[in-house]
Every structure is written in structure tokens, then in C-alpha cells.
Amino acid sequence: MAEEPGKILLPDGTVASEEEETTTERGKDRSWEEGQYIPVIIKRSDEVRRHPDDSLEHAIDDGLEQLKRPAVSLFLSAIAAGLTVGFSAMAVAIVTQAVAPLESTLLTRIATAVVYPLGFVLCVMSGAQLYTEHTATAVYPLLDRQATFKMLLRLWVIVIAGNLFGAAASASLLTMTETVIQAKAGYVAIGHHLVEFDAFSLIVSALLAGWLMALGAWLVISTRIGFSQMVSIYVVTFLIGLGGLHHSIAGSAEMFTALFISDEFTLRQTMRFIGLALFGNLIGGSLFVGVLNYAHIRKTQPASEESSIKTEDS
């Protein structure tokens, strides 16, 4: 008798049917186990970063979402961001005061640069809306003709107002807790660094800071969620701190604290710094990151498509 392929022979030489297999104890157990399992689809992500085309599309979608966000929601999120970056002001003031006796500019720069990113990491990872993130991100939908300049201006005004309100509130809290923090000398030293430069130098410094912050926002979009994003934020803000560059919102928290805690500064000096820093940050983020990123990525897309068509034709 020829043995049928794929069949199981019983001890008596007969072929076991599928019905008989399922009646065994193991067959019954297997059927019960299969009934208990819930199928799950696991998505695997091997990419450390997105392709530039994908990053741009994601940035456009994210910017469009924020442009359409209700004003109250946007304003409250911006206040939270202004409050949170105040922790950077506190950390920098403490470290500045601590290393001051060493009288080393290099050591002061490095020490403050190490702690300067802390408030930014908390702010960005929590999803709060920071003005310098939107100098580029909110521009992408406008460049892609999916939004209007009026929508962009609305976003900037709301976020700036919320950030400054939060920064002032944070400065008030830091001033009220000065007996605990004890960093007055640090706040004063930072305040002098913010107001001692001429307008041109301050704008260019803010331009570089805005460039770095917008680049950081791009890196956050381009990398995987989690540690990579934290590193991206830390690196760009570390460079801002190391260079002593001027960030409009973190600088506002520092400037407001110096104004509230010492009589060496005036409201006019504070408003001058904020205005020039906002302008410099805007130019750096919008032009050097927003426009350039959009232009070079969109410019390569038609070329890539044309190359693909030629390859298929050949």
C-alpha cells in the first residue's frame, strides 16, 4: 500500500484523518489555545530619521495643524512654553553665579551651556508652543500655498503674546523665590549680557539663535520620537548657550527677572532687547531654515521624479 504524502499513519496502518487529529488531547488543547490568542500587528520602524521629502510633508502638516488651532488653545500652550523656559533662566543664573569667582569666560560659557538646554528640552518634549519653533514650521504651509500670510501672522502674534506672558510670570515666580534660589548676582550678570550690545550685534546674534532653534525643530520632525529628539534639542540649545547667542523667549525670562530683581535695568532696555531678539530670531528661522529647506527639497523632487521616469522608459 503506497503511503500518501503529507498523511499520518496510525499504529494499525490506517491513515489518520484531520477529524481524528483534532480529537486528540493535544489537538483539543491547540484549538483552545488558538481561540485564546488575540492577533496583533506589530509595526517595525528601522529608520533612524525620515527622508527629507517625508520630513517636509510632516512639517507642512504640523504647521498647518498649528495654524488652524483655536486661539485660546494656542495661547495657553504658548504661556506654558514661556513658563517652562524660565527654568533655563534659573539654571543659567545659578551656574553663572557659582563660577563667577573663577573669572574664566571660557569656563562660564561651557558651564552655562551645559544647563541652558534644560528648560528647552522640557518645553519642546511637552508639546508647548515656542515662538522660535514656528519661525520655520509655520512658514512651510505658506510656502506650499496651503495657508495665507494672515494665518501665519495670527499664529505668531498669539504665540509671542503667550510666550512673553509666560516668561514674565516665570520671572515673577523666580523673583519671589529668590530667598530660596539665591541667584541674584547671576540674574544681574545675565541682564547686562542681554542689554550691553548695539542693535546690529544683537540682531545678528538673535538671527543665529533663531537659525539654530528652527534647525532644532526640523531635527525633531526628522528623527524618531524619544531620545533622539531630546538630543537634537539639547545640541542646538547647547550651541546657543555656548555662543552666548540671544534667544527672544528665554532671554525675556532672564531679562524680566533681572528687571524685577534689580534696579540696574529699565523697562525700556527690556523692551528694546525683546523687540530686537524677536526680529532676529524670525529672520534666522524663517529664511535660513524655512525658505532654504523648502526650496532645496521641493527643487529636488521634480528632478527625482524625472529621473525615475527616464529609468522606467529605458
**91-146 per-position pLDDT tens digit:** 999 999 999 999 999 999 999 999 999 999 999 999 999 999 888 999 999 999 99
**253-272 per-position pLDDT tens digit:** 999 999 999 999 999 999 99
Confidence of residue 46 (pLDDT cuts 50, 70, 90): very low
Mean pLDDT of the chain: 87
Contact 284, 210 (CB under 8 A): yes
Residue with the larger pLDDT of the pair 40 and 253: 253
Highest mean pLDDT among 13-22, 182-191, 304-313: 182-191
- In the CATH scheme, what architecture does the domain 86-127+167-299 have? Up-down Bundle (1.20)
Judge whether residue 44 has pLDDT over 50: no
Amino acid making up residue 312: E
Mean pLDDT calculated for residue range 47-63: 81
Contact 166, 80 (CB under 8 A): yes
Confidence of residue 54 (pLDDT cuts 50, 70, 90): confident
What is 189-200 written as a DSSP string?
A: HHHHHHHSS-HH
Confidence of residue 37 (pLDDT cuts 50, 70, 90): low
Q: What's the CA gap between 277 and 204, in Å, rounded?
A: 9
pLDDT of residue 45: 47
Judge whether residue 164 has pLDDT over 80: yes
Three cell numbers written together for 174:
523666580
pLDDT of residue 224: 81
Mean pLDDT calculated for residue range 196-210: 97
Residue with the larger pLDDT of the pair 313 and 190: 190
Q: 85 in helix, strand or coil? A: coil
pLDDT of residue 53: 83
Cα-based distances in Å from 76 to 2, 71, 119, 137, 208: 80, 9, 17, 19, 28
Of 2-6, 67-71, 144-148, 211-215, the least confident: 2-6
Q: Look up residue 129 and give its DSSP letter.
A: -
